[in-house]
Amino acid sequence: MNSIPDPLVLYDGVCNLCAASIQFIIRHDRSGAFRFASIQSPLGQELYRKHGLDPAVLPSFMMITGGRALLRSDAALEVLIRCGGIWKLAAALKWIPRALRDPVYDFIARNRYRWFGRNESCLIPTPEIRSRFVG
């Protein structure tokens, strides 16, 4: 496996909610630190397996930073915090135990296709942001 960018967000490339989330991150990540790969890509599948996950069972997205994988609500909150500005206030939600946060995350993840739809193909980045996508 090649060097993994840090931080790397792995997302469900056919999920409309996930595509909107990636667009949100790009708009609010002023430093341009985040890199992205779809879970369906070879890199995404390899990283899912490396971290003990089944790429056929997509929990929406994960964030890899410092060689470790953040999942579910931990990943979502860390992304918001790293976007900076007012989004750093999301750190307050870390006080809510993961046992309460993750079921809410899972409920949204389970229903994301029904509520937000899905595409038959992955998000195609514009030329301006293409360098931020790997895998």
pLDDT in tens, 82-91: 999 999 999 9
H or E segment to which residue 128 belongs: none
In this prediction, residues 17-41 reach a mean pLDDT of 91
H helices within the chain, ranges in order?
Answer: 16-28, 42-50, 72-83, 98-116
In this prediction, residues 83-105 reach a mean pLDDT of 93
Q: Residue 26: is it exposed, middle or buried by C-beta count within 10 angstroms (0-12/13-18/19+)?
A: middle
> Do 76 and 102 meet the contact criterion of CB atoms below 8 Å apart?
no
When pLDDT is cut at 50, 70 and 90, the band that residue 121 belongs to is: low
Reported pTM = 0.86
Residue 60 has pLDDT above 80, yes or no: no
